[in-house]
Structure 1
Amino acid sequence: MPFTARPQIGPDLEFSTRLREYVHRVSVAIGVGWESCAVDTSSPATGYIAVDWRLPGHADRDVAVLWDETQGWSVAIETHSGEDLIVVALLGGSLTPDPSAVADFLADVRGGTLAAPGAPVVPLPRPDLTASLDRHAAAPLLS
């Protein structure tokens, strides 16, 4: 009888895979290639997406879209000195919103609309965060 059991992967690899898939899906939704992305799965886990345009009032600063497991999505500008990025807008609400919601948020920020953030993000234990990320994995990738 052939072996048909599904291989098991550990929770760390599962989380890493799901987070990378999610950041990739957000990058596609905002029109940025995977080569402009970085993911760090240490604690706290983070995602970084560089965009190739500037924000009104910050024409001399590069822009990045950030995710971390304690705050969710934000938009930040780079500093000239290599210091921490300066967050200019925070999405709030869900820790893992649909990629189209992140794209809409980014479009609003880019258009100069800095709406008040949604409700504060509630951090999740890693197993719950992995499950939340998993719901995006089944959706078809649009690019």
Structure 2
Amino acid sequence: MAGIEAGGPQDQGLRQYLRLIARTLGVDLESCWYECDPDATAYIALDQRVPRHPDHDLALLWDEHTGWCAGIEVGRGADLLPLTYLGPPVLPPPEAVTVFVSDLVAGRPPDRPEPPAMPAEAHLGDLLVEYADHAPAAVL
């Protein structure tokens, strides 16, 4: 689904989806970032840490091919070392992302260290447009 038009309904939907997840996680929008070109991706810096890596910041990374990934930021360049993936669907409800993070922060061992075999989401654009209709998204 490469090439989402900036400011278009899919772009607005991704922004709103990210806003809803940030809200359920209690994260300020300043900790979020997304882009749509060439592929749709999103990032959320989290305040929590994983018990197995208490000295590293935790973050979420989403893309249209693998869905959500939780990882730790390592090194000065803040490279993200993937810990686990949420798995299908590629655009899970915000509540599912919150449970995913809560389980990881509570010490549940990561069970998907490799990107899942994500089915191609032919209707991802339509799903994003549905999120655009939820409410006006604040600027990210």
Question: Given the two structures, how large is their TM-score scaled by the length of structure 2?
Answer: 0.81
The structure-2 alpha-carbon separation of the partners of 1:120 and 1:135, relative to structure 1 and needing over 3 Å to count, comes to farther
Q: Which has the higher contact order (CA 8 A, sep 6+)?
A: 2
Q: Give the letter for the 1:122 counterpart.
A: P
Aligned to 1:67: 62
- 1:124 equivalent to 2:118? Answer no
Please give the root-mean-square deviation of Cα atoms over the aligned residues, in Å.
2.2
Contact 1:98–1:136 at 8 Å: present in 2 too? Answer: no
What are structure 1's unaligned runs of at least 5 residues? 1-10
How many residues get paired? Answer: 129
CA deviation vs aligned residue, 1:82-123 (integer Å, no higher than 9, x gap) = 163101010001011110010011101111113534963223
Aligned to 1:108: 103
- 1:49 equivalent to 2:56? Answer no
Q: How does 1:68-87 map to 2 (within 5 A)?
A: 68-82=63-77, 84-87=79-82
Contact 2:70–2:85 at 8 Å: present in 1 too? Answer: yes
Contact 1:71–1:123 at 8 Å: present in 2 too? Answer: no
Fraction of identical pairs, as percent = 33
